[in-house]
Structures are given as structure tokens and as C-alpha cells.
Structure 1
């Protein structure tokens, strides 16, 4: 477990809603003697401008990595890069583009290839999907959900694979607990997550051949800017405080607390370390025990 001081950060990603959250402060768990275990490494994080993606990028940067953040909003990317740089880490490179398209994904590769000519770690953390009743979800919502989270991941993996193979690197796909726990109110997200889970396991077979570790993380409900906005909306509707809404959610999930981005980041760091080299094709839940089944 990581121990030590907390340096700022947070931003949004939520499993069951689609909101536009304002940037919030950055939190990083810092070890008393933070080892520069990723010095000289290049780490690419899609969805790195906020939430879990930003938390993962900050954790790698704190350990010496040159990070590259990719997302759609240039303004949010610069805010995230500034927050990470203020911790004393290398300032991330940023690439703004539509990761739902192959052209947007190619733009990320072009920047990384031109500036660094290597990629040691690819973290796919982009994507939010729409919740709602099945009969209320149009084709466009399904197509958009798959376009960013699933096909964005597929395109980035395919484009970066030669660099990852050269570096004997790592892929970490940030998926979500709905990959294993279908929910009638979260059909798009569950379907996208299940597809990513299957893709991760299948790609790990190629990873065994090429020396690239491919794994996934399944976060539970994680307290980010989007979740804070969700609690704010619930509080306005119920007349309760945000903290009361948060505690009600914790009770419903049967948890001790909600997850934090740094909980997910800590596992991502481990999965990309040499200590985890024998872990391949695995999906690990970071949900405080919220997943009810064995699988």
C-alpha cells in the first residue's frame, strides 16, 4: 500500500452518468521516498485530462515518467498538465483530438513518435457511456459509447503496438465493474466494458508472443469531479447535503468508502512494474469489495 503525503488532485469519471465536470484539484499519494522507477519511460494516457486518467498520469509522472495526455479538450489538458507540473514532475505533453476516430488516435501516435520515438506504457482511460432505460437509448448513444471507449482503445493499441513491442512495454485498459455485473439501467456501459474485457484478454495472447503485458483494471464507483457533480444534483433534488448523498451511496454499495483515483493509479503503477511481469491478461477490480460475485 502507498503511504505518505497527499499532493492535490481530482476530476471526473462516473460509471452511470454523463456529465461535463469542471476541473478540480489533483491528488497524488506520495511515498516518503518516491523512487523514480519510471525515469526515462514514456507513458501515454488517453482520457488523461481528468478523473482516473489524470490520477494515473500523475502517479507515473511522480515516478519520473514523461507522460503524454490525450483527450478532446485542449483547455482541460493544459489544466491537467499544469497541475502535474506543479508537483515537481516533468510537465506532460498534451494532444487534443477526437479519439473516437482513427485520425484522432493517429495524431497521438504522431506526436509520441516525433518527440520521443518510444512508448513504454499505454493506458486507455478515455470514455463515458450513457445510462438509462433500454427503450430510451437511441442507436446514436450506443454508437458513441463504443466509438470512444472501445474503438478508441482498439485503435490506440493497434497504432502503438510496434513501439510497445520494441520497448517490451505494458498496456493497461481502464474498464469498469459493469464488465462483470450487467445492469438493466447501464446497458451501454456494461456492453462496452464487457467488449473491452474480452479484447484485453484476447490481446494478451499477442502480448505473450511480443513481450507486451496487457491487463485491465475494473474500478468501482470512484470519487471524481463527475461523481461530485452527481452528488450535488442528487442533493439539490433531495434537500440533503452532498455528504449525506455520498454516505447514502456508500451504504447502498456496502462499502467503507468510495474509491479515489489514486486507488486505481496505485494498481496501474504495479501492473507496469517489473514485479508484475508474470501478470498477463488479467482484469483486477478496484472497488472496495463492491463486486458481489466470485468472478
Structure 2
């Protein structure tokens, strides 16, 4: 396998973990960045088993200095960066009139500013390698609602940020796209359902079945399905695709 390096944030669980493992088939090295070291180590074992060399970076990307640290340590270990997949960031699902300034700032700090700073820090190396960037948003970017205002607002900002980076990338040879997943069955979603169900006098199993029905979809997505889309976007076959926003949601969004 030719020498190539991908950085995946949020790699300790869910879509980030699935993406890191999937990219191990295409990249010689995969850098795993997240806050949960024990789970990162498990991802690293899976990446190694899939054929790539992992580098574990337990780091909080909400911190201002974290982005430069990730890039510096990646370049020290491998000497290049070919792909950056910004997946980290969970935004609290709280009503518009109940969100505090601190909760807004917390959602922005990791998902938006973390991705923005890391993309900027990695840009010189990506420009040199003619690499690719993916920023993960969510389909709520296209229909923000009061009960989860921060999720939709920050996801919409991520899409706009990706579009701005892609415009710069045309001249610099860096490909940038964003992805809008729909309801995906991750550990975080299971925790949310376990919390939500008793508040609505439901069993967890009933609540789990109700969500896809209410969303008008056949089933939840799986992290591995989103990972396949992520892998395509940083593959040679997608090189002419830049500035695009790709939705993968099982048909939840009904508009054209």
C-alpha cells in the first residue's frame, strides 16, 4: 500500500470509529483523535487488524491548541496528511428557549471550531498532498426546529464552513465536502433513547421502534454505511467532487 495518512476525529465510537476502521483498507496510516483513550485503543486494534498503522491521540479538540498538536504529532509520526475527516462533536438536543450560552458555546467549541481549526492547521500539508477533507454535519442542517435548535444551527454552520473551505481548495488543490447523516444507531443514540423513553412513558424498545416510524424511514442507519460514504469522498474516484453536501438519511428529508 502506498504511503498515505488519514486523520479521523471522533474515532473512539460511532461513525468516527467505523470510518477509521473502513479507511484502514485504503490508507497506510490512520490517526485516531478523540477524548476517550480506552475506546481509542480498541479502535486502534481494529485499524491495525484491518491493515493500517494507527496513531492514538487522546485530545480534546475543543481546546484552542489541540488542532496544532494533532497536526504536529501526525507530521512527526508520518510526514504527511492526505485526508482529514472531521467527525467529532455532539451537540445537546435542547429546546431553543432552554439552551444556555454555555451550552451553545460548548456545542460550537468542539463540532464547529474544532473542525475549523483542525482543517486550517492541516491545510498546508493537505495542499502539498492534494488531499481531501470531509466535515460531518447532519440532516437537521436543512430543517432546524425549536426542540433541537442548536443541532440544526451548528450543522448548518458546518455546511457553510465546508463550502467556504472548498472554495479556497479549488486554487489550492484540496477537495472539501460535507456529509449529512440521518438517524444512525450509535451508542449515543441508544443512550438518548434510554433517557427519552421513560420521560414519555414508553419502554426503550417501543421508543426505538417509534423514531424511524415518525421520521418516515424504514430503519436506522448503521455507522458502517456512513463510513462507506466517507471513504468514497476521500478516494481517487471522488476527486472532482468538491463543495458538495451529501445527505444519507434513509429518505427522512422529503424535499427535493
More helix by share: 2
Is the TM-score greater than 0.5? yes
Displacement after TM superposition at 1:241 (Å) = 4.7
On the 8 A contact 2:30/2:47 being kept in 1, the answer is: no
TM-score (structure 1 length as normaliser)? 0.82
- Find the partner of 2:211 among 228, 249, 256: 249
1:204 match: 166
TM-score for both structures, normalised by structure 2: 0.94
- Residue in structure 2 matched with residue 230 of structure 1 by the alignment: 192
Offset from partner CA, 1:165-213 (integer Å, 9 cap, x none): 1111000011111111111111111111111111111111111101111
Deviation at 1:235, TM superposition (A): 4.6
- Within the candidate set 140, 156, 174, 2:102 is matched to 140
User: Conserved in 2, the CA contact under 8 Å of 1:120 and 1:170?
Assistant: yes
SS in 1 for 2:88: coil
**Number of corresponding residues:** 255
Conserved? CA contact 2:5–2:27, under 8 Å: no
The answer as to 2:7 corresponding to 1:44 is yes
Mapped pair 1:76 → 2:74: no
How far did residue 234 of structure 1 move? 4.1
Q: Deviations over 1:230-267 (max 9, x none)?
A: 2333455535352x322211111111110111111111
CA distance in 2, matches of 1:91, 1:79: 13
Q: Is the 8 A contact 2:182 2:248 kept in 1?
A: yes
SS at match of 1:69: strand
How well do the aligned residues superpose, as a CA RMSD in angstroms?
1.6
C-alpha distance in 1 between matches for 2:60 and 2:203: 38
Alpha-carbon distance in structure 2 between the residues aligned to 1:164 and 1:135: 40
- The 2-side partners of 1:47 and 1:240 are apart by 30
Write the distance in 2 (CA, Å) between the matches of 1:140 and 1:232: 25
Q: Distance in 2 between matches of 1:91 and 1:63?
A: 11
Pick from 210, 223, 243 the counterpart of residue 261 of structure 1. Answer: 223
Aligned residue in 2 for 1:14: none
Greater shift in the superposed pair: 229-238 or 142-151: 229-238
- Asked if structure 2 preserves the Cα contact closer than 8 Å seen for 1:250 and 1:258, the reply is yes
1:150 paired to 2:121: no
Q: Is the 1:235–1:241 contact (alpha carbons within 8 Å) kept by the matching residues of 2?
A: yes
Structure 2: how far apart are the matches of 1:142 and 1:77? 27
Please, which runs of 5 or more residues in structure 2 have no aligned partner? Answer: none
1:286 pairs with 2:248: yes
Question: Paired residue for 1:120?
Answer: 82
Instruction: Describe the SS at the equivalent of 2:179.
Output: strand
Q: Which residue of 2 aligns with 1:16?
A: none
Give the Cα separation in 2 of the matches to 1:57 and 1:268.
Answer: 10
Residue of 47, 56, 60 corresponding to 2:23: 60
Q: Tell me, which stretches of 5 or more residues in structure 1 are unaligned?
A: 1-35
Q: Which residue of 2 aligns with 1:22?
A: none
TM-aligned CA deviation for residue 276 of structure 1:
1.1
